[in-house]
Structure 1
Amino acid sequence: MGLEASNQGFIWVVRRNNNVNGGEEEKNEWLPHEFGKRMEGKGLIIRGWAPQVLILDHEAIGAFVIHCGWNSTLEGVSCGVPMVTWPVFAEQFFNEKLVIEILKIGVSVGAKECNRVVERIVKREDIKEAIRKVMVGEGALEIRNRAKKIKELATMAFEVDGSSYCNMQSLIHELISYNA
């Protein structure tokens, strides 16, 4: 409902749940009533798997609502996409700090506690405000520009003679030396 209230276009990938019989459950009873109908032309709901990096790397993508898992965080950074952070558990809260406080390319929905231990629901207003801050808020352009700059730095790191490339080469040479 926060996504709807933000008044922004979207792509929402919804994971399918497996039922006890091993088949996929098609019902999404947790979605707001007639959400799909109301969002026709405004958003796209993809059920199941989606090519996340391909989607994130598209020029039309303005932000990424992310749970702050490490792989998704790297994908968002490498695609230069501002992030709306919503960590759930474990290291995701540390990754959120990286995105918001260090890289300064994201806005938090305000999740503060591990959801697997404490039942806490993020309010729709918090989601709406976080999305609007990263998309059209006062600092949105600055966040977007920083995300693009960090994408350039990440790309350079993987090029020949970039820091990540050189570190990987060093690791490979060291591992090879153990066999010699």
Structure 2
Amino acid sequence: MTMFTDSQLKEIAAGLEASGSAVYLEDGPPSFDSDHEAIGAFVTHCGWNSTLEGITAGKPMVTWPIFAEQFYNEKLVTDVLKTGVGVGVKEWLRMHGDHVKSEAVEKTITQIMVGEEAEETRSRAKKLGETARKAVEEGGSSYSDFNALIEELRRRRP
């Protein structure tokens, strides 16, 4: 569980409010209902499950890693897939208490929500989400590969 200080939560809230954009502040698994279409981006701590949920949702992500290993997930989202923008955390929060100001939160949200670059990021995220969902549907590559693995394990069972 993520434990931000009161001052950091105030900075996050102020930055989100100042951005004026519809974002989902990830504090648990998102529910993908009809209201999700109105959400423009996810703000996520870059845990592996949260990263996959953001990809599957097809929404751009504002990344906020809090543990050392989550910086790898952030690099995947921001540098490889190019479906997100980092808020600027450079140090492991639990170790160094890296504190981000509301202006940085607002700037990052605006960067991922407004302009031509934001449209390109949103388009990449949407295409990646569609691909991910197709892969896990019946007949998709992940669905088929998982079933093949189960069958292989059954054949090797003593």
Q: Residues 22 and 39 of structure 2 are in contact (CA less than 8 Å); yes or no, is this contact kept in structure 1?
A: no
Matched, 1:106 2:84: yes
Runs of 4+ displaced beyond 4 Å: 10-14
Matched, 1:177 2:158: no
Work out the number of aligned pairs and report it. Answer: 145
Secondary structure of 1:169 counterpart: helix
Matched, 1:159 2:137: yes
CA distance in 2, matches of 1:103, 1:56: 26
Matched, 1:61 2:74: no
| Paired position in structure 1 for 2:3 | none
Q: Which has the higher contact order (CA 8 A, sep 6+)?
A: 2
Instruction: For residue 55 of structure 1, report the CA deviation from its aligned partner.
Output: 5.6
Identity of aligned residues (%): 54
Q: Residues 133 and 140 of structure 1 are in contact (CA less than 8 Å); yes or no, is this contact kept in structure 2?
A: yes
| Paired position in structure 2 for 1:115 | 93
Distance 1:91 1:121, change over 3 A: same
CA distance in 1, matches of 2:74, 2:26: 20
Output one character per residue of 1:20-39: Cα deviation in whole Å (capped at 9) or x when no partner. xxxxxxxxxxxxxxxxxxxx
Secondary structure of 2:96 counterpart: coil
| Paired position in structure 2 for 1:42 | none
Question: What TM-score do you get using the length of structure 2 for normalisation?
Answer: 0.82
CA distance in 2, matches of 1:154, 1:64: 17
Output one character per residue of 1:11-60: Cα deviation in whole Å (capped at 9) or x when no partner. 5566xxxxxxxxxxxxxxxxxxxxxxxxxxxxxxxxxxx76132697110
Q: Residues 29 and 53 of structure 2 are in contact (CA less than 8 Å); yes or no, is this contact kept in structure 1?
A: no
CA distance in 2, matches of 1:13, 1:71: 11
Question: What TM-score do you get using the length of structure 1 for normalisation?
Answer: 0.73
Unmatched tracts of structure 1, length 5 or more: 15-49
Secondary structure of 1:84 counterpart: strand
Q: Residues 63 and 83 of structure 1 are in contact (CA less than 8 Å); yes or no, is this contact kept in structure 2?
A: yes
| Paired position in structure 2 for 1:72 | 50
CA distance in 2, matches of 1:91, 1:113: 11
Q: Residues 56 and 76 of structure 1 are in contact (CA less than 8 Å); yes or no, is this contact kept in structure 2?
A: no
Secondary structure of 2:36 counterpart: coil
CA root-mean-square deviation: 2.1
Bigger proportion of residues as strand = 1
Instruction: For residue 92 of structure 1, report the CA deviation from its aligned partner.
Output: 1.1
Bigger drift between 93-102 and 168-177 goes to: 168-177
